[in-house]
Chains A and B, each alone.
Chain A
């Protein structure tokens, strides 16, 4: 070995040891509870991630006000990662949250496709993941460490079908779904099953792909079939654009959507074209529920705007997680210590995460702002859905459906 290679090797060794000690130093000096959160802070569905982040921040702020931001003596830190509205990116950031940030639990995502990308990673690592608002049934079927705070698309699709058939008294509808999106494909299927069961018929089913911005060809094909309504089980960006282009092509039928429409941007994009359209949602801001109204007040003081249901569900998800952590700290302080950031990778951490999972799974009658949350044996919440009608550029409450 020449002296030059030796020199290079020693430089590498010094650098490597420096990195390792820096890594250890960081976590040993300050023990904390790291909670990972991932969402679409940018990209096509940016308001989903931003609303989730805001909801979690409100919960964290309340924890700071009431308990100095500590659970069981350890300060809580939420590490947020952006997946740019891409499923591939979601898998990468969840890997990072678990392997680098050593998160004890993960909050996220809204979009079912991205929850399905992150879920298996959490399941394999034994880290509990709570999706606040992914409604596709497959999300929690990934494994016993995956939970959700909202209803499922079987129920949502049924509500949409019942509202269309019974309240609007329509029989012939067209579907325009996002063929690359698990949520949209699933919701379209559940709607079709329920709607044909109620005696309605689907005159045509057309598809687009997320990110498209021209839907005229599909809408022209729909127009030729002359349906009484168009079901658009996709996300808000495309729904707004579809509404505008439908009106331009002379289609005056109402559009019917699901909770993917829930965004402050929906009306900004679709404008007047959305008047008379309806969608199913997790809450309506004009409902006089005391818990909801209290949350609204806090939220408006902090952000000078209205939250959407996505933010409300994230707030509930964060509080359910905090509640489970507090319970663990009280019942079994010894096991709880395994969650401290210095214990990352140890057997104590594994055991503590197992206990945390069990406690989240037993969530019963939790009084959330989006309704009472009880998790069933499949780790899903069963909650009522509301139908929102857009009138004069405003989202207004129309009716509620119980499961």
Chain B
């Protein structure tokens, strides 16, 4: 029993990371109907920006919670800027072209970031400094949780609620909803669609950067191709929850994380990556709109 509970704790921690990345996918999809395949690579960039910020602040030798927060924020800001540049330079020019053109552009941006990362950072893995010394907290029944896991969970939750607040209760958020519902009508109502799209990319990239730093705190090995698999899995998580649906992305991420850890723990680690795609196939067969997604009749 305690083994199972411990696996659940591990799974929820991983799941909250997938949820953070999946949020970015789902927001961009909700607004543009575009799957931004470069999103996983923004997660990688987040980890690397955090790595350099930590080095600059000398956070490895002299860790403090304030420095850890600074590392997180600087990675988020840097990736937010990358998100803006990415949207303006790559996606805006093809926004009025076919959806296939945008999709191929996304794959191109992804390859650019991966190989650019190899060029800039080198292909060797780097090791993220321990800016928060690990401590274990016993939860009873033989279950332990590390302070880093608690941090991942709480930062993810805070960011998810912040996102929910922005989308539901601010003017920009309402504009985002409007653009998602009908961009043409939103533009007629005086909403600057361009600004909203850029803002969405920035927000999504910041969440991915936060996920990158949080994961690197716990699993310190970072390398330029580290974003591919988590990116794909977060995409599956977004589809699983219902793409375009924000609570769905969070739910999908948690389901993915738990499923993955249980498969590794009880079946075989060989299926660690396979389970994501099995889930994708099952959900597409059983409930194509996703767990929380609504079936929208296509107008003909």
Instruction: Please indicate whether A and B come from the same complex rather than being unrelated chains.
Output: yes
Contact call A248/B136, Cβ cutoff below 8 A: yes
**Contact residues of B between 122 and 170, Cβ < 8 Å to A:** 122-125, 127, 130, 134, 136, 138, 142, 144, 146, 148
The contact string, 1 if C-beta is below 8 Å from chain B, for chain A 244-260, is 10011110000000000
Contact call B144/A247, Cβ cutoff below 8 A: no
Q: Provide the bound-state CA to CA distance between A244 and B136, in Å.
A: 12
Contact of B134 among A220, A224, A244 (CB under 8 A): A244
The contact string, 1 if C-beta is below 8 Å from chain A, for chain B 267-284, is 011101000000000000
B146: chain A residues at CB < 8 Å are 248
The contact string, 1 if C-beta is below 8 Å from chain A, for chain B 55-86, is 00000000000000000000000000000000
User: Is B172 interfacial (CB 8 A cutoff)?
Assistant: no
Contacts known (A249-B6, A269-B220); A212 close to B272, Cβ less than 8 A: yes
Among A38-46, A115-123, A281-289, the one that faces the other chain is A38-46
Distance between A274 CB and nearest chain B CB, rounded to angstroms: 14
User: Is B221 interfacial (CB 8 A cutoff)?
Assistant: yes
**Contact residues of A between 217 and 275, Cβ < 8 Å to B:** 217-218, 220-221, 223-224, 237, 241, 244, 247-250, 265, 268-269, 271
Q: Provide the bound-state CA to CA distance between A105 and B192, in Å.
A: 67
Contacts known (A179-B270, A248-B134, A250-B144); A220 close to B10, Cβ less than 8 A: yes
Q: Provide the bound-state CA to CA distance between A218 and B264, in Å.
A: 7
Which has the most chain A C-beta neighbours within 10 Å: B125, B136, B144, B146? B125
Contacts known (A43-B124, A271-B130); A214 close to B265, Cβ less than 8 A: no
Distance between B265 CB and nearest chain A CB, rounded to angstroms: 4
Contact call B219/A214, Cβ cutoff below 8 A: yes
A217: chain B residues at CB < 8 Å are 7, 10, 260-262, 264-265, 269
User: Is B115 interfacial (CB 8 A cutoff)?
Assistant: no
Contact call A247/B134, Cβ cutoff below 8 A: yes
Q: Provide the bound-state CA to CA distance between A249 and B142, in Å.
A: 10
Q: Provide the bound-state CA to CA distance between A346 and B220, in Å.
A: 52
Distance between B51 CB and nearest chain A CB, rounded to angstroms: 14
Residue of B nearest to A240 (CB): B127
User: Is A84 interfacial (CB 8 A cutoff)?
Assistant: yes
Contact call B136/A208, Cβ cutoff below 8 A: no
Q: Provide the bound-state CA to CA distance between A218 and B263, in Å.
A: 10
Residue of A nearest to B225 (CB): A211
Distance between B76 CB and nearest chain A CB, rounded to angstroms: 22
Contact call B221/A213, Cβ cutoff below 8 A: yes
Contact call A179/B269, Cβ cutoff below 8 A: yes
User: Is A203 interfacial (CB 8 A cutoff)?
Assistant: no
Contact call B123/A220, Cβ cutoff below 8 A: no
Interface pairs A-B: 10 shortest CB-CB: A224-B3, A217-B264, A217-B265, A213-B219, A42-B123, A216-B10, A248-B146, A220-B6, A217-B261, A46-B124
